[in-house]
Structure 1
């Protein structure tokens, strides 16, 4: 199976959806933050491995604790994934912390601060021209 094939894209989407459901409803580990989401899942073409990109809304300690909790529950998550997905091989999951959402929020705040810092006279001058 090629990496960018339609089948691989469907498998990635389905694995992402099921991982999200398992983490949200099936995981009882108190270390896993309630605002944990699966941003993306990349399953290898041979269906043996999977990289799950995880986003955690919170500070660095909550992110670290969530990643530790997910790594310790990897066996349970893989077993639940095998139970819900009808695949010949259940991929071995590697969790990767994805900070792109947090980065985007930070950049949006900085842009808002810069635009708010502009004087109103500059804004009025642009409107008149």
Structure 2
């Protein structure tokens, strides 16, 4: 995997911030879930494309609808990016659903269940021991 330059890292952050603001404030598509967040943005070094990783707090249908809504709003968002960020090329936006937050929450829940079961087992074994 290529290491990003400082310039590319700065561009990624700026594009991520602008797209987050566009989604939260300007896009009025009812398909886009209100709990949509931009997790990361990877702008290609040639500035031709940008992968936008999004996370939606909702069921699978909400995720699919949000992805469709964002893909249909991509040309508008690209135009807004061109107005707000001064780049040689305005990247084409490619939206990708990111499941990492959901995966992390699920893993935390599983770890919590296992540790709770271990604590319950310890309490039972301590209660049954004669004094």
> What TM-score do you get using the length of structure 2 for normalisation?
0.89
**C-alpha displacement at 1:120, in angstroms?**
3.3
Q: Which has the larger radius of gyration?
A: 2
Corresponding residue of 1:27: 27
Query: Which aligned pairs between 1:64-83 and structure 2 lie closer than 5 A?
Result: 64-83=64-83
Query: Which residues of structure 1 form unaligned runs of 5+?
Result: 125-129
Q: Aligned-residue CA RMSD in angstroms?
A: 1.8
Distance 1:120 1:23, change over 3 A: same
What is aligned with 2:56? 56
Which residue is equivalent to 2:17? 17
Supply the distance in 2 between the matched residues of 1:90 and 1:122 (Cα, whole angstroms): 63
Deviations 1:20-50 (A, max 9, x none): 1111101000000001000000000001110
DSSP 3-state at the match of 2:93 = strand
Aligned residues: 124
Question: Equivalent residue of 1:108, what SS?
Answer: helix
Question: Please, which runs of 5 or more residues in structure 2 have no aligned partner?
Answer: 127-131
Normalization by structure 1: what TM-score? Answer: 0.90
2:98 maps to what in 1? 98
Runs of 4+ in 1 over 2 A off after TM superposition: 120-124
